Structures are given as C-alpha cells and as structure tokens.
Amino acid sequence: MLFFSFFKTLINHTVTVELKNDIRIYGTLRSVDQYLNIKLDNIDIVNLDQYPHLSSVKNMFIRGSVVRYVVLPQAEVDTTLLEDATRREAANQANKA
C-alpha cells in the first residue's frame, strides 16, 4: 500500500503519465485508488495529432494496469522520506510473516 499512499501525496500536482501504448498524458492528478488507477484533470496529450480521438477529452480515468511510467514533479518527492517509509513497510511485512 506504500505506493498508493505515496501517490495520494501527489494529488493536485501535475504529473505526466506514459501508457504502454506510448501515449503521454500531462495533467493534474485528481485521484488514485488501490489498483493505482489514475484520474487526471485538464489533460494535455503529447503529440495530440497522432491521437485524434482524444482531442475533445479534458479529464480522464486511466486503468492502472496500462500505465508504463508516471513522471513526478521532483520538488514534491521527498526521496529520503520515501526510503524511510519503504524500510518501515518492509519491517512491517517481516513482522507479519
């Protein structure tokens, strides 16, 4: 659940999502769920002319399973904190097992 929590901290920030079919979508992260499905607002598509079906789309829901990368705003990511959280999560998992 760590990455779910992590993505929640990025809500209302702009991210770029690259899908497995190479579409890159730039937009404001509106919502994320436990499958890492993503909802973006005010989207901009890189190379929109190649994807005419998205020309009238403003907000979209992306199924988590088709996401290749999410490009994050660097200023909003505290890698030390994230590393720390990862260790804690790993420790929790070890305790459970």
Task: Work out how close the CB of 28 gets to another protein at its nearest, in angstroms, rounded to a whole number.
Answer: 10
Task: Work out how close the CB of 94 gets to another protein at its nearest, in angstroms, rounded to a whole number.
Answer: 18
- Sign for the pseudo-dihedral over CA of 38, 43, 47, 53: positive
Q: Which candidate, 40, 46, 56, 2, places its Cα nearest to that of 24?
A: 46
Between 66 and 96, CB nearer to another protein: 66
- Which residues bind to another protein, rule: CB under 8 A? 2, 4-6, 8-9, 11-13, 19-21, 31-35, 37, 39, 49, 52-63, 65-66, 78, 81-82, 85
What's the first-to-final CA gap in the chain, in angstroms?
16
